[in-house]
Amino acid sequence: MELIAKLSLLADAAKYDASCASSAAPKRNSRNREGLGASTGGGICHSYTPDGRCVALLKILLTNFCLYDCQYCINRRSSDVPRARFSVDEVVRLTLDFYQRNYVSGLFLSSGIIRSPDYTMEQLVAVARSLREQHQFRGYIHLKTIPEADPALVAAAGRYADRVSVNIELPRQEGLQRLAPEKSLSTIHSAMGVIHQAGETHRHATPSFSGRKPARLAPAGQSTQMIVGADDSSDAQVLTTAENLYQRFKLRRVYYSAYSPIPGAPGTVPHQPPPLLREHRLYQADHLIRLYGFGAGELLAGTTTLALDLDPKLAWALNHRDQFPVDLNLAPEQLIARVPGIGLRSAQRLVMLRRRRAVCFDDLVRLRCVVRKAQPFIVTRDYRPSRAEPESARLARQLRDPVPEQLGLWG
Amino acid sequence: MSWTGHAADFNAWRDQARALYRAQLPPHQVHWDDAAQPSLLSDGGNLPAPVRAGPRVPKTLLAQLERAAACRIEQRWNLLYRVLWRVAEGDRSAMLAGDADGSQLVQRLTAVRREVHHMHAFVRFQPAPDGLPLDLIGWHQPRHQILRWVGDHFHGRLGRRRWLLATPDDGALHGDGEQVHWLAQCPPDWASAARGAAGEGDPMWERYFSSTFNPNRLNPQAQLRHMPRRFLAALPEGALSARLIQATRRGAAPEVVRSGAPLRIKSAPPAEAEPAEPHRDNQAGRADKDR
Ligand code: SF4
């Protein structure tokens, strides 16, 4: 098969994985050195496809042949898609070519399981090793781990890759058992544990791919992906699972991928996608958990579903009117960042500003906060919400985001 | 007394601004022109006589003013002099977002930072044609004068490769494998090679782009929100995206969409409403920062 035909099939097969980040790798560059590539720590999106998703890495499978039969996956054994397989060298050449033309900042390589989990994992590691050792490639590498592979292979992956990850796919064992019979939550957890441990303990012992100084394995940490809407897990189950993973394995990111009905899907999975808005709300909630110090329980406040028509921070604030209004001239930065319409950065800027002079209402406008949402919850030198501020239900109606009707039905 | 300053670049502005501050000319008495007037500039005696020392400002402010000056807008100097004056007189809120001047300064810094980031992202290199002492050539049109801030980035990525990155009106960067040089005037044959390369497609990249696109999640607004049209249109994926969107809306089979080929329409397509776009401000991997 021609290379371009393989690329077509194996990029298509990889596109259901939402992760494409190229950030958090240690700084390195190829200034006046043999080889190619750099990482700055930040991520770069080199293009966007018409689905609005970023292209940061060459995201492909090594092969879409697979021994497993995960029902939600287009590459499952029983699917009748055309199959293809790259050689190690083909992936290496494609990566270097795409990189030097500035299409991407590196490689995100995953694979269907062929022969055995160990064999498959060895192939993935061989690609990364060749890039790093033969070609002195210093761009970003993200390898997907086969959970059932030998932990030594997983550690080897971490030696070459910036990020090593394993997809949990579904939040609960019941779902996995029904839809991915060859997988199990405990195997996935132990693979995550191996990556986490490797990062912690090998820090001192192992030389980096350049052989110069000891480096942390998989320095950009691990991430995972959960498919939303392939089984009937609720938002609460999805978010508590995510929260647990962040705590237990120090994951950098959990990605949520609204289930995309695949061509020729079996009857065990829905034929309709969940609303993309649900995925969006999960990302917003996840963001609040990771960066703002919210707990999943706080955001859900006793329910199992995030509101579709309110962003989770606003929904939380409406449920906690007793904590408001917050005086922007007195409150700690963390609390200011909990005000709807005011982000972390604006909170920080408000605190910097108030060291010089009192904060007034127009400052929020100039900081481009979402004043409409913040207004009922704040006090400034020249503004305080009226005492007759409407009760939460009415406020919710005023501040809600319009939800496209057909999307509200599912999920 | 009032004064008109003339500055074509930051250094020229800084020298005059310093003299004007020392002559104690406050911002409302100074007006700045964007064009240099060499006859005036060379005549230092034209500047008013100093009556005091200064201005004393934090180093970070000078760096910020220099970056803000890269922002190509009319009247770029008036704000900078106002900020300089206020901070030197002890009012540091003039540097902060929230303040009327500070907000404008921060907006310009943000615009410059974004444009640098856009350049890191959307520059494309093609193999250089035979006969030039170069490996890779690229062509890019940044909105602001930021070329000097991206040299290090591409040097770090490309190592010993020899490359040229040319722009229509801000010269070019040349990495010779060891150092990066800014060329005020790009050699014409290099520039035309770079300009020509910009229009060239790459079948591998286009096929990758079409195949990694998920028609089930069609959302052209989100694409444009992240990738301004001026960049999209300048790249091969601009025309390709239009074809992908059309094929998806017409319900073409996945392998047809993936091929990225234009649709051959046998009969008139059924009239069809635009699919409702889900309201999404973000995409995987980037949640809204400021909500
Ligand atoms: S293991 Fe399951 S999810 Fe992974 S490629 Fe095979 S079928 Fe798909």
Residues B188-233: tens digit of each pLDDT: 999 999 998 887 889 999 999 999 999 988 999 999 999 999 999 9
Q: What is the pLDDT of residues A122-175, one digit of tens each?
A: 999 999 999 999 999 999 999 999 999 999 999 899 999 999 999 999 999 989
How far does A97 lie from chain B, in Å, by closest CA?
Answer: 10
In B53-131, the DSSP E strands lie at 125-127
Written in H, E and C, the secondary structure of A132-148 is: HHHCCECCEEEEECCCC
Contact with chain A for residue B97, Cβ under 8 A: yes
So what's the pLDDT on residue A410?
A: 35
Q: What is the pLDDT of residues B128-163, one digit of tens each?
A: 999 999 999 999 999 999 998 999 999 999 999 999
B88: exposed, middle or buried (Cβ count in 10 Å: 0-12, 13-18, 19+): middle
Q: Which of B197, B181, B199 is nearest to B189 (CA)?
A: B197
Backbone angles phi, psi at B202, to 5 degrees: -140, 110
Share of chain B above pLDDT 90, in %: 67
So what's the pLDDT on residue A206?
A: 54
So what's the pLDDT on residue B230?
A: 92
Beta-ladder partners of A36: A137
Q: What is the pLDDT of residues A146-160, one digit of tens each?
A: 999 999 999 899 999
- The residue whose C-alpha atom lies closest to atom 5 belonging to ligand 1 is A112
How far does A44 lie from chain B, in Å, by closest CA?
Answer: 6
Query: What 8-state DSSP symbol labels residue B235?
Result: S
- The residue whose C-alpha atom lies closest to atom 4 belonging to ligand 1 is A112
Beta-ladder partners of A65: none
So what's the pLDDT on residue B73?
A: 87
CB contact under 8 A, B156 and A280: no
Measured distance CA(A290)–CA(A283) in Å, rounded: 10
Cis peptide before B187 (omega within 30 of 0): no
So what's the pLDDT on residue A302?
A: 82
CB contact under 8 A, B290 and A369: yes
pLDDT at A306 over 60: yes
CB contact under 8 A, A4 and B124: no
So what's the pLDDT on residue A408?
A: 36
SS3 state of residue B194: helix
In whole numbers, what is the pLDDT of chain B averaged over residues? 85
From A33-42, B43-52, B89-98, B238-247, the region with the lowest mean pLDDT: B43-52
pLDDT at A203 over 60: no
Q: What is the pLDDT of residues A341-387, one digit of tens each?
A: 999 999 999 999 999 999 999 999 999 999 999 999 999 999 998 86
Q: What is the pLDDT of residues B35-77, one digit of tens each?
A: 766 545 444 457 888 999 989 999 999 999 999 999 988 888 9
Measured distance CA(A310)–CA(A315) in Å, rounded: 6
Measured distance CA(A36)–CA(A15) in Å, rounded: 26
Given the cut 0.95, state whether the ipTM is greater than it. no
Quickly state the pLDDT bin for A411 (edges 50, 70, 90).
very low
So what's the pLDDT on residue B273?
A: 38
**Structure-block tokens of residue B259:** 């091929």
**Residue of B214, B277, B280 to mutate, testing the A interface (most A Cβ within 10 Å of its Cβ):** B214
Q: Which of B136, B126, B122 is nearest to B197 (CA)?
A: B126
Quickly state the pLDDT bin for B276 (edges 50, 70, 90).
very low
Amino acid at A248: R
In whole numbers, what is the pLDDT of chain A averaged over residues? 89
Could you tell me the maximum CA-CA distance found in chain B, to the nearest angstrom? 82
Q: Which residues of B fall within a CB distance of 8 Å from A373? A: 291
So what's the pLDDT on residue A219?
A: 86
Cβ atoms of B103 and A366 within 8 Å: the answer is yes
Neighbours of A387 (CB within 10 A): 5
Measured distance CA(A15)–CA(A227) in Å, rounded: 13
From A90-94, A395-399, B63-67, B259-263, the region with the lowest mean pLDDT: B259-263
